[in-house]
Copies of this chain bind each other. A is one copy, B any other.
């Protein structure tokens, strides 16, 4: 067995709890510290997940000498600051998606990882899911002919609460960064960076996007139609079409263990994978694999992709009319 990878978890929200539960499924991973701005919450989380040390700050986790890798699970608006401190403290970082609030911040963070020679990866777990890796292989093998389009939706009804991070502009809330990022990341995985980004959406009373539809155009002629929403449930399915066939990924596509390959006039073919946990296990294993290999970035979630996805989100957000306090003047005006 490999030596255990020792995790420090920063923040104690929902996603942090699910990630801790998933890490517990992996024998060679261990959470050794957790930090919250509220020490009581850190202690409660530590007790629930049998973690030795609980801190009343994010910085202490990064400075804990036993921590190999810091998992940043704070709201988007805090990612850059917390991840920066962890990198400067010599830690590897797995940072929740969206990597940052905008592409300018994402580039800053990547530069920091490079400068400090530390591993950094966006926690875009979908990209580590074996089903999505299989999908990429199917496309590369020409199973669908030439890829032509991606269609995907992801949404749910979030009860409107101006204090909830989902709706708070200063926490970089909104549908694009929370759920829209999955369809955009899927399209990026399969079609690359788009040449044109068109978006339309609706605003919550706080001014963040409650929903957004995107039309991405590619120089080669492919197209992606994508929708994310906090204003109601969506089918949460994804389709990838090529000149010779199409793939259906049923709901919820970002966590799916099954896809169906369709060709005209042929029986559909099902491809399934056995998933361990809900799928966060694969990103944890990817982090471990990269660290053992001495890599600074993961080939499954490369820095360039995280930045490129952020650029699409910036452009879409600007068109929908959402600005965050973190945005510099002019951010997102391109695209």
Contacts and interface: CB of A to CB of B under 8 A. Distances in A.
B153 A151 contact: yes
Nearest to A241: B234
B243 A262 contact: no
A221 B205 CA distance: 13
Nearest to A218: B200
A213 B237 CA distance: 18
Interface stretch (A128-136, A223-231, A297-305): A223-231
Contacts of A213: 149, 215, 217, 223-225
Q: How large, as a class, is the contact surface on chain A? A: 35 or more
Contacts of A153: 149, 151, 239, 241
A189 interface: no
Interface in A197-236: 198-202, 210-217, 221, 223-227, 229, 231-235
A119 to B, nearest CB: 36
Given A196-B200, A227-B151, A227-B223, A232 B215 contact: no
**Mostly helix, strand, loop or mixed at chain A's interface?**
strand
A148 interface: yes
Nearest to A149: B227
B246 A233 contact: yes
Nearest to A248: B235
Contacts of A241: 153, 155, 229, 232-235
Contacts of A227: 149, 151, 223, 225
Most buried by B among A155, A199, A246: A246
This protein's copies in its complex: 2
Interface string A151-190: 1010111000000000000000000000000000000000
Contacts of A157: 243-244, 264
A35 B249 CA distance: 47
Contacts of A243: 157, 231-232
A229 B234 CA distance: 24
B215 A214 contact: yes
Q: List 8 tightest A-B contacts by C-beta distance, closest first.
A: A200-B217, A202-B221, A225-B225, A213-B223, A215-B215, A232-B243, A198-B198, A235-B239
Interface of A: 145-146, 148-149, 151, 153, 155-157, 196, 198-202, 210-217, 221, 223-227, 229, 231-235, 237, 239, 241-246, 248, 262-264
29 contacts: A148-B211, A149-B213, A149-B227, A151-B153, A151-B227, A151-B235, A155-B241, A156-B264, A198-B215, A199-B215, A201-B221, A212-B223, A213-B217, A213-B224, A215-B225, A223-B227, A225-B225, A225-B226, A225-B227, A231-B243, A232-B242, A232-B246, A233-B241, A233-B245, A233-B263, A234-B239, A234-B241, A235-B246, A237-B239
Given A146-B232, A148-B229, A213-B225, 8 more contacts: A148-B232, A149-B227, A213-B223, A215-B215, A223-B227, A225-B227, A232-B242, A235-B248
